[in-house]
Amino acid sequence: MNNTMINAFDPTTLDQLDPVSRALVDRRLQVLGPAYRLFYEQPLHLVRGSGVWLYDADGQAYLDAYNNVASLGHAQPDVVRAIAEQSATLVTHTRYLHAGVLRLAERLLATMPSALGQVMFTCTGSEANDLAYRLARSVTGHTGVIVTNLAYHGVTDSVAEFSPSLGNGVPLGAHVRTVPPPDAYRGERDVAGAFARAVTAAAADLARCGHGLALLIVDSIFSSDGVYADPPGCLAPAVAAARAAGGLYVADEVQPGFGRTGETFWGFQRHQVVPDLVTLGKPMGNGYPVAALVAQPRHLERFGREARYFNTFGGNPVAAAAANAVLDVIERDALMQNAHRVGRALRSALWELAQRHETIGDVRGAGLFIGVDLVTDRDSKTPHRALTSTVVNALRERRILLSASGPGGNVLKIRPPLVFEQSHADLLVSALDEILNADRSGSA
Amino acid sequence: MNNTMINAFDPTTLDQLDPVSRALVDRRLQVLGPAYRLFYEQPLHLVRGSGVWLYDADGQAYLDAYNNVASLGHAQPDVVRAIAEQSATLVTHTRYLHAGVLRLAERLLATMPSALGQVMFTCTGSEANDLAYRLARSVTGHTGVIVTNLAYHGVTDSVAEFSPSLGNGVPLGAHVRTVPPPDAYRGERDVAGAFARAVTAAAADLARCGHGLALLIVDSIFSSDGVYADPPGCLAPAVAAARAAGGLYVADEVQPGFGRTGETFWGFQRHQVVPDLVTLGKPMGNGYPVAALVAQPRHLERFGREARYFNTFGGNPVAAAAANAVLDVIERDALMQNAHRVGRALRSALWELAQRHETIGDVRGAGLFIGVDLVTDRDSKTPHRALTSTVVNALRERRILLSASGPGGNVLKIRPPLVFEQSHADLLVSALDEILNADRSGSA
């Protein structure tokens, strides 16, 4: 068993589950095999969702503060209707003409800097990052990749080679170098400078080893590294360093994209940089499998001349209808503005909590992507992995869902649907307060 | 422009299109870029589908003899309902317990030999083949891949390296060797023996170059190679040869699976072989993006110990509902039996046509996956690429859709939805008869 996954169910505790869950876990082990993982000490058996709520088989409601796919809320009716209607009308592919996919591409491009002019559709973020790697090699003639220490970019063979968060059992490629994320809490004071210097050094090492730099790829919110958002602009010098070494800059917006970070529609926009390639995924269809790569057109020229790209389901009429509906709802319901407002208030409330709880070392993030860094003490800033696990599972007992990230497994990852309201944030904060109080009194 | 794609629209002829199509093609070039391709000299603008019929923007009906994703027919109501209902209920992922994905896994396994005991879900056939390659390396400790000359297995970076049909602009990996498909028309009399000998030689060459054989992967119907189905059993010696060289045998069922070949649910079953890994895709959700890898459990042990696999949308409740509905309909409506009956009659009718048309050199295939090999003359068996292009585009003018494959671009690929009836087959055969008559009289 590879234990690098935070908040994973431990199958050796199977006997302690209720009979229904146990039977389901048994069937999973039997027919899905050993590579699958479940969340939580007590896995959740969910049967229904609506808005920010998920319901288990007993009808118990759980406040979802974690799922960033159903970003407009679970079973969002406009998206469900779009999927149902288009499925009943036509599902084909991009080798026939269809207006839906073109409208989607044009709308996505309208949210981005003008240099980003073309879109290619895939089904998953992994496929989008895989295509980004193919394109970066085609453009630069190099093979090297720079990622952050605990980055996750996907599960295809090539992308897993530059996804260190998959753990030591999945080796990094010989052409891959890792750099520490821009960490304003434990890192150097000059966050942007330190990040840029690390990229320069990694690029030099790649060059020395004969690889050359094809791309620097970063998740603009550094989700699996432990959530890092500030200071805004701190990516810019690293992007310049990557370009100086001949590489492209790929913004992985699978996690932070579609308004989640509150101030801007895309995470990279907070950092005042213009990517060469941008990859999109998870919330793009509010649960429908659709993803994309957005490119500066000059980067597609050679690839388009030498190769072709066809993804059977990528950009099909239903995918386009779902993603167009998602864009409609984000705009109509001002969800980015909601993420900004509720996220800011939630971070403030968490900082207030930190006044009373020394174990909260840091609160950070942007919009509704928030990290709470739990420590044994504030001087050493030592990651408090045990407390984090206690908190995640105690919140689950109080029927509030979230998880954790970071190399110390000690950063609460708060990433609710964008329809999260102040009242939901209040529930989360007061439950967290209770749990941290109980921990101090030794009864958590 | 890479011209290896058969039946691709030539963008230099843009001026000859009607204004609406031209505007759509213009927008595509603008926002989707140069790596996308369209079918046909005159691209099709489709807006609706039902059963075996597709409808263009002018309301014209086209008989679909080509699309193998909407395998139960376009907009099949049971699948549409399953997608709509589950989308309105819950879409999450496999880190929570859900019965739908387990039921699907159990049902898929029930269709296969008992040695194949576990399923892993992805969104696309490319992802399934990419995972197969990761697993085969983990099991064998080798890296080499053997594929057929013009195989297509997908578009991820690793899979494109063993998909020679993508053309010379996409180089094969140094660890990849190609072998001729088992061709009973132009190849040696001993089809099975020749195929096995080629695999043995390729494996020896891989070993000599330090790669060792990780896997032999073949599409059980050899779709892009030109459609080869017979004699049944002809794969078995090659599979034995691959295993003797230490490699796994992966059956790529993305094209032939789910009853299409008529006699058996999976294409490999016609050849009396038991694969180590099986990959599924296209028709699995009748248009919903869902795919899978099925494995002998022993092959997942090491991977499951060292790594984990999570695919955000793979095996989600809607994917499972769609795929369960597909299995329901195939069984309830006896679509495999229909594919067998209508496919056999269609091949007979095409052979009758061959009595009158010397340009039909061969008719082959299984169930509703049929190849018609067009030749300049029957003695030389020279591929008649020009006639094939004429036929494909003339059929499109008569509003019947199919395409072509094979290294000579001369094999009509007939691959209709499994609900294709005798009357539809008759329409296709008589249109083909007319077109070949016109060709002989010089007026096609």
pLDDT in tens, B38-94: 999 999 999 999 999 999 999 999 999 999 999 999 999 999 999 999 999 999 999
Q: Does B158 touch chain A (CB under 8 A)?
A: yes
Helix (H, G, I), strand (E, B) or coil at A433: helix
Other Cβ atoms within 10 Å of A83 Cβ, number? 27
Give the pLDDT confidence score for residue B440 in this predicted structure.
82
Q: Which residue has the tokens 């597609």?
A: A300
Q: Which residues contact A367 (CB under 8 A, 6 or more apart)?
A: A259, A260, A261, A262, A263, A336, A339, A340, A343
- Verify that A160 and A85 share a domain, yes or no: yes
Other Cβ atoms within 10 Å of B401 Cβ, number? 22
- Give the Cα separation of A127 and A154 in Å (integer): 8
Residue B1 has pLDDT above 60, yes or no: no
Chain B residue numbers with beta carbons less than 8 Å from the beta carbon of A305 are: 1-2, 34, 169
Chain B residue numbers with beta carbons less than 8 Å from the beta carbon of A69 are: 91-93, 312-313
Q: Does B90 touch chain A (CB under 8 A)?
A: yes
Report CA torsion sign: A371, A375, A378, A381.
negative
Q: Which residues contact B1 (CB under 8 A, 6 or more apart)?
A: A305, B11
Give all strands of the β-sheet with B403-405 in edge-to-edge order: B360-366, B369-374, B411-414, B403-405
Burial (CB count <10 Å: 0-12, 13-18, 19+), residue B434: middle
Nearest-by-Cβ selection for B46 from A25, A54, A96: A96
With respect to residue B150, please indicate whether it lies within any of the assigned structural domains.
yes
Residue A444 has pLDDT above 80, yes or no: no
- Verify that B307 and B389 share a domain, yes or no: no
- Give the Cα separation of A321 and A21 in Å (integer): 36
Pairing of strands B213-219, B248-252: parallel
Asked if B240 and B248 touch (Cβ cutoff 8 Å), the reply is no
Distance from CA of A329 to the nearest CA of B (A): 16
Q: What is the DSSP string of A337-384?
A: HHHHHHHHHHHHHHHHHHHH-TTEEEEEEETTEEEEEEBS-TTT--B-
Nearest CA in chain B to A81: B84
With respect to residue A33, please indicate whether it lies within any of the assigned structural domains.
no
Q: Give the CATH number, domain containing residue A354.
A: 3.90.1150.10
Return residues 28-67 of B near A (CB < 8 Å).
28, 30-39, 43-49, 54, 67
For the stretch A171-206, pLDDT in tens is 999 999 999 999 999 999 999 999 999 999 999 999
Tell me the β-bridge partners of B364: B371
Chain B residue numbers with beta carbons less than 8 Å from the beta carbon of A98 are: 45-47
Tell me the β-bridge partners of A360: A374
CB-based contact B80 A87, cutoff 8 Å: yes
Distance from CA of A351 to the nearest CA of B (A): 31
Task: Annotate chain B with three-state secondary structure.
Answer: CCCCCCCECCHHHHHHCCHHHHHHHHHHHHHCCCCCCCECCCCCEEEEEEECEEEECCCCEEEECCCCCCCCCECCHHHHHHHHHHHCCCCCCCCCECHHHHHHHHHHHHCCCCCCCEEEEECCHHHHHHHHHHHHHHHHCCCEEEEECCCCCCCCHHHHCCCHHHCCCCCCCCCEEEECCCCCCCCCCCHHHHHHHHHHHHHHHHHHCCCCEEEEEEECCCCCCCCCCCCCCCCHHHHHHHHHCCCEEEEECCCCCCCCCCCCCCHHHHHCCCCCEEEECHHHHECECCEEEEECCHHHHHHHHHCCCCCCCCCCHHHHHHHHHHHHHHHHCCHHHHHHHHHHHHHHHHHHHHHHCCCEEEEEEECCEEEEEEECCCCCCCECHHHHHHHHHHHHHCCEECEEECCCCCEEEECCCCCCCHHHHHHHHHHHHHHHHHHHCCCC
- Give the Cα separation of A263 and A271 in Å (integer): 11
Give the pLDDT confidence score for residue B2 in this predicted structure.
43
Return residues 121-150 of B near A (CB < 8 Å).
123-127, 130-131, 133-134
With respect to residue A29, please indicate whether it lies within any of the assigned structural domains.
no
Question: What confidence tier does A255 reach under pLDDT thresholds 50, 70, 90?
Answer: very high
ipTM above 0.95, yes or no: yes
Chain B residue numbers with beta carbons less than 8 Å from the beta carbon of A289 are: 123, 289-290, 313, 316, 319
Distance from CA of B57 to the nearest CA of A (A): 10
- Verify that A238 and A116 share a domain, yes or no: yes
Give the pLDDT confidence score for residue A408 in this predicted structure.
97
Q: Does B22 touch chain A (CB under 8 A)?
A: no
- Give the Cα separation of A228 and B154 in Å (integer): 35
Whether omega for the bond prior to residue B231 falls within 30 degrees of 0, making it cis, is: yes
Interior CA angle at B83 toward B78 and B87, to 5°? Answer: 150
For residue A131, what is the DSSP state? H
For the stretch A128-166, pLDDT in tens is 999 999 999 999 999 999 999 999 999 999 999 999 999
Q: Does B13 touch chain A (CB under 8 A)?
A: no
Instruction: Determine what percent of chain A falls in helix, strand and coil, rounding each to the nearest 5.
Output: 40, 20, 40
- Verify that A358 and A319 share a domain, yes or no: no
Tell me the β-bridge partners of B401: B64
Nearest-by-Cβ selection for B127 from A38, A77, A156: A156
Residue B3 has pLDDT above 60, yes or no: no
Tell me the β-bridge partners of A177: A146
> How many Å separate Cα B240 from the centre of its chain?
24
Chain B residue numbers with beta carbons less than 8 Å from the beta carbon of A123 are: 123-124, 127, 289, 313
Number of domains in chain B: 2
Q: Which residues contact B50 (CB under 8 A, 6 or more apart)?
A: B73, B74, B75
Question: What confidence tier does B441 reach under pLDDT thresholds 50, 70, 90?
Answer: confident
CB-based contact B289 A127, cutoff 8 Å: no
Other Cβ atoms within 10 Å of A190 Cβ, number? 12
Distance from CA of B194 to the nearest CA of A (A): 32
For the stretch B179-227, pLDDT in tens is 999 999 999 999 999 999 999 999 999 999 999 999 999 999 999 999 9
Residue B130 has pLDDT above 90, yes or no: yes
Q: Which of B332, B365, B385 is the last residue of a domain?
A: B332
Report CA torsion sign: B219, B220, B223, B228.
positive
- Verify that A156 and A305 share a domain, yes or no: yes
Give the pLDDT confidence score for residue A126 in this predicted structure.
98
- Verify that B112 and B236 share a domain, yes or no: yes
Q: Does B379 touch chain A (CB under 8 A)?
A: no
For residue A53, what is the DSSP state? E
- Verify that B154 and B292 share a domain, yes or no: yes
Chain B residue numbers with beta carbons less than 8 Å from the beta carbon of A312 are: 69, 124-125, 281-282
CB-based contact A124 B123, cutoff 8 Å: yes
Asked if B372 and B360 touch (Cβ cutoff 8 Å), the reply is yes
Q: Does B19 touch chain A (CB under 8 A)?
A: no
User: In the numeric block, which tokens belong to residue A59?
Assistant: 């009808």
With respect to residue B321, please indicate whether it lies within any of the assigned structural domains.
yes
Asked if B410 and B384 touch (Cβ cutoff 8 Å), the reply is yes
- Give the Cα separation of A264 and A111 in Å (integer): 10
B312: nearest Cα among B88, B82, B90, B122: B122
Nearest-by-Cβ selection for A300 from B33, B127, B289: B33
Interior CA angle at B132 toward B130 and B136, to 5°? Answer: 120
Nearest-by-Cβ selection for A127 from B156, B290, B306: B156
Residue A4 has pLDDT above 90, yes or no: no
For the stretch B225-262, pLDDT in tens is 999 999 999 999 999 999 999 999 999 999 999 999 99
CB-based contact B119 A31, cutoff 8 Å: yes
Residue A314 has pLDDT above 50, yes or no: yes
CB-based contact A305 B5, cutoff 8 Å: no
Other Cβ atoms within 10 Å of A59 Cβ, number? 8
Return residues 252-311 of A near B (CB < 8 Å).
281-282, 286-290, 295, 297, 300-301, 303-311
- Give the Cα separation of B1 and B168 in Å (integer): 12
For the stretch B414-432, pLDDT in tens is 999 999 999 999 999 999 9
- Verify that B193 and B342 share a domain, yes or no: no
Nearest CA in chain B to A114: B31
Q: Which of A332, A347, A362 is the last residue of a domain?
A: A332
Give the pLDDT confidence score for residue B443 in this predicted structure.
61
Mean pLDDT of B396-401: 98
Nearest-by-Cβ selection for B84 from A27, A87, A109: A87
What global pTM score does this model have?
0.97
Q: Does B12 touch chain A (CB under 8 A)?
A: no
The amino acid sitting at B51 is G
- Verify that A289 and A345 share a domain, yes or no: no
For the stretch B326-364, pLDDT in tens is 999 999 999 999 999 999 999 999 999 999 999 999 999
Mean pLDDT of A69-73: 98
Residue A1 has pLDDT above 50, yes or no: no
For residue B195, the number of C-alpha atoms closer than 13 Å in the C-beta half-sphere is 27
Mean pLDDT of A357-374: 98
Helix (H, G, I), strand (E, B) or coil at A238: helix
Give the pLDDT confidence score for residue A443 in this predicted structure.
61
User: In the numeric block, which tokens belong to residue A14?
Assistant: 């199977």
Asked if A178 and A149 touch (Cβ cutoff 8 Å), the reply is yes
Asked if B119 and B131 touch (Cβ cutoff 8 Å), the reply is no
Q: From residue B14, give the alpha-carbon distance in Å to each of A211, A317, A433, B9, B19.
A: 41, 23, 65, 9, 10
For the stretch B135-175, pLDDT in tens is 999 999 999 999 999 999 999 999 999 999 999 999 999 99
- Give the Cα separation of A64 and A70 in Å (integer): 10
Query: Across chain A, what does the average pLDDT equal?
Result: 96
CB-based contact A126 B297, cutoff 8 Å: no
User: In the numeric block, which tokens belong to residue A268?
Assistant: 């990279």
Chain A residue numbers with beta carbons less than 8 Å from the beta carbon of B166 are: 307-308
CB-based contact B44 A96, cutoff 8 Å: yes
Return residues 219-238 of A near B (CB < 8 Å).
none
Q: Which residue has the tokens 């993982």?
A: A37
Please give the radius of gyration of chain B, using alpha carbons only, rounded to the nearest integer: 22
- Give the Cα separation of A34 and A37 in Å (integer): 8
With respect to residue B35, please indicate whether it lies within any of the assigned structural domains.
no
With respect to residue B63, please indicate whether it lies within any of the assigned structural domains.
yes
Question: What confidence tier does A318 reach under pLDDT thresholds 50, 70, 90?
Answer: very high
B293: nearest Cα among B432, B127, B55: B127
- Give the Cα separation of A351 and A378 in Å (integer): 14
B234: nearest Cα among B181, B185, B308: B181
CB-based contact A90 B99, cutoff 8 Å: no
CB-based contact B49 A92, cutoff 8 Å: yes
- Verify that B279 and B368 share a domain, yes or no: no
Helix (H, G, I), strand (E, B) or coil at A413: strand
Which of B39, B97, B305 to probe by mutation at the A interface, max A CB count within 10 Å?
B97
CB-based contact B157 A155, cutoff 8 Å: no
> How many Å separate Cα B204 from the centre of its chain?
29
Nearest-by-Cβ selection for B90 from A75, A101, A303: A75
With respect to residue A340, please indicate whether it lies within any of the assigned structural domains.
yes
Mean pLDDT of A247-262: 98
Q: Which of B269, B301, B332 is the last residue of a domain?
A: B332
Tell me the β-bridge partners of B62: B54
Q: Give the CATH number, domain containing residue B208.
A: 3.40.640.10
- Domain holding B272, by residue range, is 77-332
Question: What confidence tier does B306 reach under pLDDT thresholds 50, 70, 90?
Answer: very high
- Verify that A351 and A314 share a domain, yes or no: no
- Verify that A121 and A257 share a domain, yes or no: yes
Nearest CA in chain A to B314: A289
Query: Across chain B, what does the average pLDDT equal?
Result: 96
Other Cβ atoms within 10 Å of B263 Cβ, number? 18
With respect to residue A30, please indicate whether it lies within any of the assigned structural domains.
no
